[in-house]
Structure 1
Amino acid sequence: MVTPRINYAHLGATVNPRHLASLVSFFEAGCKSAPGGFGVEIEHLPVRNGSDEAINYYEPQGVETLLGRLRPYYDADREYWENGRLVGLAREGISISLEPGAQVECSIGVLRTPEELETVYRAFRFEADPILDELGFRLVAYGYQPKTGFADIPVNPKSRYAAMSDYLGRVGQYGLCMMRCSASTQVSIDYHDEADAIAKLRVGTAVGPILAWFFRNTPYFEGAPNPFPLLRQRMWDSLDFQRANVIPGLYDPRFGWEDYAVDVLSTPLMFADLTHTPEAAGLSEAEKHRAAFRENAGELYPDRELNAYEINHVISTHFNDARLKNFIEFRHWDSLPLARAERLTQIIGSLFYDGRNLARLASFFEGIDELDVYEAKANIQAFGAGATPYGRSWEFWREFLGLGDLLEGIPGDPAHPDVFQI
């Protein structure tokens, strides 16, 4: 039985030891003897040809129609339905799912090299683009909808998103904007043991905002020019501090998997998901999916080991800049066109899978703490192109991270700040 290093009981937190053991075992199961794989998620904004207004799930010739037309290309036994509506598709190497505002997400992997991304992604577009042409809309890679505001976009029919709207509509500042209008690129990597996972989380959390600057891709916010140097960071940092931003305690030398598990288990879940909890079989759908403003995992789930679905739900209610699952997920970046997403994946590989580079970065950031990361992020938001995160210029970071050759000539590079790909 795993016992947390810190006793949180006096703070009112409830951490069930069986739940804690479940999460630690989940992390242990993610260890790879030879790390080197990539997972890439690219979210797309559906916009109408001509007007660039958002296309929603329900409208005629909308996103639901797109999924239905794509069905023959995917495995019949890997379709995802909710409330009688099609919400996802999958086959070997790729899955298609929906974010709350009908953003179309392609999850691709496991890739052995960044270059494999192009092959898998182009196959998706080869199938989808002729259908999109017939439907009169397209999928664009921006960080935020170019014309339509969040209030005009309904959430798709997943029950969890109604519960999430209930929560995020009352907490923080930009929750509903994030849900309905934003889109991201996320890159996941492997780890070989606990120490390796923590080192990569620390470096990824520190360097992520810097890479986000070089790969920013959000010209618009709520139908107007985007006023923020990094809109995605601004939205997430203002969303709900207890589940976003930097993992609490990450830079404490004693920090480990148990501490991460305690954090996610002791925090209110945002919304309950009891759809795969056998003990909740008799509850209504509204009771299985509802906002959870105060209940954490110990108060919602039975006193037993958590199953895989429950574990993933608990972890997925946290949106830290770098997130630990049974892999490491970096979540800093706007939605990117294919060429830039591939370059980003190459850079992640060079920084985290090259032992010398990872050691160099770990040494550079040795001794920093959470406040240093907060300061660097605030510095970027305050000064943009004139920012000096961690006291260093953008020119320093471009050279230190080896970005020069990998970014040369890519539209959207900070050298060409007004050029974005759509």
Structure 2
Amino acid sequence: MMTIRTSYAHLLTKPNPKHVDSLLRFFENGRSQRGTGGFGVEIEHLPVHDSDDTAVSYYEPNGIETLLKRIAPYYDSEKEYWENGHLVGLARDGITVSLEPGGQVECSLGILKTPQELLTYYRSFRRDVDPVLADLGFRLVNYGYQPKSGYADVRVNPKDRYDAMTAYLGRVGQFGPCMMRCSASTQVSIDYVDERDSIDKVRLGTVIGPILAWFFRNTPYFEGETNPWPLLRQRMWDYLDFQRTNVIPGLFDDRFGWEDYAIDVLSTPLMFADLTHTPEAEGLTGKQLHHAAFYENAADVYPDRELNPYEINHIISTHFNDVRLKNFIELRHWDSLPIERAERLTEIIGSLFYDAANRDRLESYFDGIREVDVFEAKANIQAHGRDATPYGQPLEFWHAFLGLEGLLADEPGDPRHPDVFQA
């Protein structure tokens, strides 16, 4: 098996073999027998005041907490999520409402059998939330970044984990506070049938993700000004923390597999520890259960035993690679999108990953691709925008090759676009 090297890994405790085995079983248990299976879609919304488009906070009167409490009767009472005496999440069949650090309202939908089901679930979510929003005087917009407010204007939600994240990301890399407090995404998850299938899909998603991100860009503003980067969220993630972002190290080596990914994840500093579901930590306070982990990896934090599912999910969730492997595959590239464009994106993902002929065509085209080629393609788009030639081809080629019919040349991510101020 090849060796995966990550920053600072030589300074840390080696991965615990029991932890490695735990992740391998976690991936194995995620296998789907369907193969052309379902979708999970997450759409994050930015809350802004109707009066001036500035960010709405969790704590203000008629703010995010009030919104959650007002819509709570539409959700299952036994599935409410509370922390430090505050309501921070809701759930019912097919819909989960949660909060990102800066008050971004995330609507998680699925598992969906077809992309079209996305509209059904999402309209159900909006049917409940829109009358309350109108009464409270704010709305939920779909941009990749707050239109008026900057990160310094936004307080984090009342979760101890976000205080620990702030302590870490405020000192490591660039854009951490910006990502936490002001950015918003659309993520699409797909399934896999075995190890080879999962690695192939992660590779393919990593390769084409930046191109799709261009055609689905939707970030006209950054820190109250016109956004200077063709793909702002990609820029933020790539420079957030080199230990846990960008392309998974070693992904394009033919020998790469689940064990390599597990070792990479377990070798990297955790960013922050979460011991809330670790029985051995019983009796610790909230701040002790969550603490920044600059040099501690999983073996330094968790006991010498098999990891439980919560601990596994936390460890993996502290990695922000372009495509993330959990017990499903999470494609993470895209700005927050209006529902019609999110549905179109999901249709395209289904066509590219679940249609055997399409997938064979793509994998054949990208045969022999290297990690450095992906880095070059991403840099090419950032440097040249609409004149970019990722992987040596103009964007017009990729528009046709990836089956993006119906997407315009200028989409709402451009401030000049007539739809840019739509909620």
Structures share a fold, TM > 0.5?
Answer: yes
Corresponding position of 1:26: 26
Within 5 Å, give how 1:128-167 maps onto structure 2. Answer: 128-167=129-168
Corresponding position of 1:323: 324
CA distance in 1, matches of 2:51, 2:215: 29
**TM-score of the two chains, using structure 2 as the length reference:** 0.96
**In structure 2, the residue corresponding to 1:72 is in which secondary structure?**
helix
Q: 1:50 Cα deviation (Å)?
A: 2.3
CA distance in 1, matches of 2:11, 2:79: 41
**In structure 2, the residue corresponding to 1:96 is in which secondary structure?**
strand
Within 5 Å, give how 1:161-240 maps onto structure 2. Answer: 161-240=162-241
Is contact 1:5–1:258 with CA below 8 Å preserved after alignment? no
CA distance in 2, matches of 1:411, 1:181: 21
Change in Cα spacing, 1:368 to 1:83, as seen in structure 2 (3 Å) is: same
**In structure 2, the residue corresponding to 1:81 is in which secondary structure?**
strand
Corresponding position of 1:346: 347
User: How many residue pairs end up in the alignment?
Assistant: 418
Q: 1:7 Cα deviation (Å)?
A: 8.6
CA distance in 1, matches of 2:156, 2:4: 39
CA distance in 1, matches of 2:383, 2:142: 25
CA distance in 2, matches of 1:165, 1:60: 24
Corresponding position of 1:366: 367
CA distance in 2, matches of 1:261, 1:160: 23
Percent same amino acid at aligned positions? 68
Change in Cα spacing, 1:157 to 1:105, as seen in structure 2 (3 Å) is: same
Is contact 2:218–2:413 with CA below 8 Å preserved after alignment? no
CA RMSD of aligned residues (A): 1.8
Is contact 1:214–1:413 with CA below 8 Å preserved after alignment? no
Corresponding position of 1:11: 10
Is contact 2:380–2:389 with CA below 8 Å preserved after alignment? yes
CA distance in 2, matches of 1:7, 1:141: 37
Deviation beyond 6 Å, 4+ runs, structure 1: 7-10
Q: 1:224 Cα deviation (Å)?
A: 0.5
**In structure 2, the residue corresponding to 1:40 is in which secondary structure?**
strand
Residue 252 of structure 1 aligns with an amino acid whose one-letter code is: D
Corresponding position of 1:106: 107
Change in Cα spacing, 1:10 to 1:119, as seen in structure 2 (3 Å) is: closer
Is contact 1:38–1:114 with CA below 8 Å preserved after alignment? yes
1:302 aligns with 2:303: yes
Is contact 2:70–2:132 with CA below 8 Å preserved after alignment? yes
1:160-187 Cα shifts (integer Å, max 9, x gaps): 0000000000011100000000000000
**In structure 1, the residue corresponding to 2:259 is in which secondary structure?**
helix
| Unaligned ranges ≥5, structure 2 | none
Residue 344 of structure 1 aligns with an amino acid whose one-letter code is: L
Corresponding position of 2:396: 395
CA distance in 2, matches of 1:395, 1:115: 27
| Unaligned ranges ≥5, structure 1 | none
Q: 1:62 Cα deviation (Å)?
A: 0.1
CA distance in 2, matches of 1:214, 1:408: 8
Corresponding position of 1:73: 74
Is contact 1:5–1:259 with CA below 8 Å preserved after alignment? yes
CA distance in 1, matches of 2:154, 2:228: 21
CA distance in 2, matches of 1:285, 1:176: 22
CA distance in 2, matches of 1:118, 1:267: 38
1:140-197 Cα shifts (integer Å, max 9, x gaps): 0000000000001000001100000000000111000000000000000000000000
Corresponding position of 1:115: 116
CA distance in 2, matches of 1:103, 1:10: 33
Change in Cα spacing, 1:285 to 1:304, as seen in structure 2 (3 Å) is: same
**In structure 2, the residue corresponding to 1:42 is in which secondary structure?**
strand
